[in-house]
Structure 1
Amino acid sequence: MNQVLVEICLRVRDIDATLDFYTELFDFEVASRREFPDNKFDLIYLNSPGSSVQIELTYNYDAEPYVIGNGFSHLGVTVNDLEEMHKICKASSYETGELKGLSGETPSYFFVTDPDGYRIEVKRKH
């Protein structure tokens, strides 16, 4: 049997702020948007250039604030120019960590937090 990861779902509270984060800070593109007003939710699918995995943003109209559990850590993306992306993120309004490396290695990643509190690990593309 052959399984293929096709999507990751994130439940979000402010769909406009979340779309700005993924489409303006990063290069994600809205692939489709489905609105279900009778059921009080929307689904927005984002594509990341170079990847077949989509992020599904689920926006429930009347949802209470979500609690991100301690079992979930982060999503990861790679970029060609880590230092430039770090500068862009630091200049944004989003919480951005410092460049880091493992065990004395050259810095190769940092974290930025989206409007809903999900952390994105930004790594140097190899």
Structure 2
Amino acid sequence: MPSKPEASVFHFAHVMIRVSDLDRSIAFYQNVLGMTVRRRADYPEGRYTLVFLSYGPGQAEIELTHNWGNHTYTSGSAFGHLAIAVDSVERATQLFQSRGANVLRPAGPRMEAPDEIIAFIEDPDQYRIELVQIAAEAR
């Protein structure tokens, strides 16, 4: 097994998802999930736009990739979901639902681990987002 790299050398940077309506997706991640746009770049030669959002400096980002023109995407069977750590899954689910998120699975215990509370919502492109309750000592 390879040795663990120094923490200062590596960190998780971002996850990329393709979106069909960039403005709608930005609105969801900003207005529903409370993220901030960190940077945006248009690439006319490649006919696409990249928008990076996160919860703050040094946090992992989500990269929204919008290919210009009409594109239809299907989720592959290998992709599962994105996950956001929250202090209360129930409160976060209620907040995100009040902001327009579609709740796929309300807050409740995981069947396999009843002490773990989770919920699932989805973004405008039907990407599933898991809300994971983190213990106070882990924050």
Classify the TM-score, shorter chain: 0.7 to 0.9
Is the alpha carbon distance of 1:99 and 1:51 closer, same or farther for their aligned partners in structure 2, counting shifts above 3 Å?
farther
- Output aligned runs, 1:81-96, within 5 Å: 81-96=88-103
- Say if 1:110 and 1:123, in contact at 8 Å, map to a contact too: yes
Which residue matches 2:29? 22
Q: Does 1:65 align with 2:77?
A: no
> What are the ranges of 5 or more consecutive residues in structure 2 without an aligned counterpart?
none
Deviation at 1:106, TM superposition (A): 4.8
1:38 is aligned with what amino acid? Answer: E
Deviation at 1:32, TM superposition (A): 0.4
Task: Say which one has the larger Rg.
Answer: 2
Which range is displaced more, 42-51 or 10-19?
42-51
> What are the ranges of 5 or more consecutive residues in structure 1 without an aligned counterpart?
none
- Say if 2:16 and 2:64, in contact at 8 Å, map to a contact too: yes
Aligned residues: 126
User: TM-score normalized by structure 1?
Assistant: 0.87
**Separation (CA, whole Å) in 2 of partners of 1:105 and 1:51:** 32
User: TM-score normalized by structure 2?
Assistant: 0.79
Matched residue SS, 1:98? strand
- Output aligned runs, 1:3-82, within 5 Å: 3-49=10-56, 52-82=59-89
Counterpart pick for 1:112 among 99, 121, 125: 121
Matched residue SS, 1:99? strand
Is the alpha carbon distance of 1:105 and 1:120 closer, same or farther for their aligned partners in structure 2, counting shifts above 3 Å?
same
**Separation (CA, whole Å) in 2 of partners of 1:115 and 1:79:** 21
